[in-house]
Every structure is written in C-alpha cells, then in structure tokens.
Amino acid sequence: MNTVHDTRIIQLPKIPDERGNLTFIEAGRPVPFVIHRSYWIYDVPGGEVRGGHAYKELEEFVIALSGSFDVVLNDGKERKIVSLNRSYSGLYVPNMIWRHLENFSTNSVCLILASLAYSADDYIRDYELYLDAIQGENECQR
C-alpha cells in the first residue's frame, strides 16, 4: 500500500528565455505514468478546499501553473503538506492516498494530470471507508 513517502516532487524541464520561460511534459517523462486526462482548478474563492478523497487506482501529478496552494496528503498513519508554487515542478501522488487541496492564493491555477479517465467508481469519498480499505491502525486527523 502506498504511503505519503511515495509522493514526491518532480522537477520539469525549464527553458529559460528572456521572452518568457517554457516548460514541457512528454509521454512517459518525467511524469511516471501515461496521461489519460488533464483538468484544472481555478477561480477558487478564498478559504475554499478541493478534493478530500482517495483514488483506488488513479495516479496523478499536480502542478501550480500559477499562484500557490497546499496539497495535504494522508495515508492513514502520516500526514504531509506540500506547498506548490512553481510552474516547473509538480507533485506525484500514487493511488490510495487521501488528499485535499487548500490555501489557494488569489488567481491560482492547479493543473492535474491523471493516469485514468474520469470514473466516479474510482473515488473513495468516505474517510472511514478509506481507513477500512487500507486497514490502517494509527488513524490521524484529516
């Protein structure tokens, strides 16, 4: 079973240029899965929280394309908060990690690259069911 220690920041290529910097992602690198979907979260009102669930199978890569926000990761035993604020790095999150996004700055844009097409069946939205699924013994606060 994955833990918060299996999440990691991955640096993306950055082509600095006086006309404006450029960053890119290719199939299979450096994002460690084949991307089947991308979506983005934006116009988040101050104080709002997104997410608050785990995915049974889906892996994701989260990038702060603009502004900043925090990704709060929880594996049922440990909690880890990762602040994202660069458009040339991102956070890899494997499946079966409970996570939510918070502390969005004004005008921030969160891009999420996902390993699977959208499926409501892949979500675990109940924290108790998540804990049951991972058979965690040392529960911690969401």
Residues that bind ligand TYD (CB under 6 A): 37, 39, 50-51, 53, 118
- Looking at the Cβ atoms of 50 and 79, the one nearer to ligand TYD is 50
Residue 105: CB partners within 8 Å, gap ≥ 6?
Answer: 67, 68, 69, 85
- Looking at the Cβ atoms of 25 and 58, the one nearer to ligand TYD is 58
- Looking at the Cβ atoms of 13 and 118, the one nearer to ligand TYD is 118
Does the active-site annotation cover 53?
A: yes
Minimum CB–partner distance for residue 125 and ligand TYD (Å): 8
- Looking at the Cβ atoms of 88 and 109, the one nearer to ligand TYD is 109
The answer to whether residues 73 and 82 touch, using CB atoms and an 8 Å cutoff, is yes
Minimum CB–partner distance for residue 34 and ligand TYD (Å): 16
CA distance 68 to 79: 19
Minimum CB–partner distance for residue 13 and ligand TYD (Å): 26
Of these residues, 5, 36, 53, 100, which one is catalytic? Answer: 53
CA distance 114 to 111: 10
Minimum CB–partner distance for residue 80 and ligand TYD (Å): 19
Longest CA pairwise span in the chain (Å): 53
Active site residues: 53
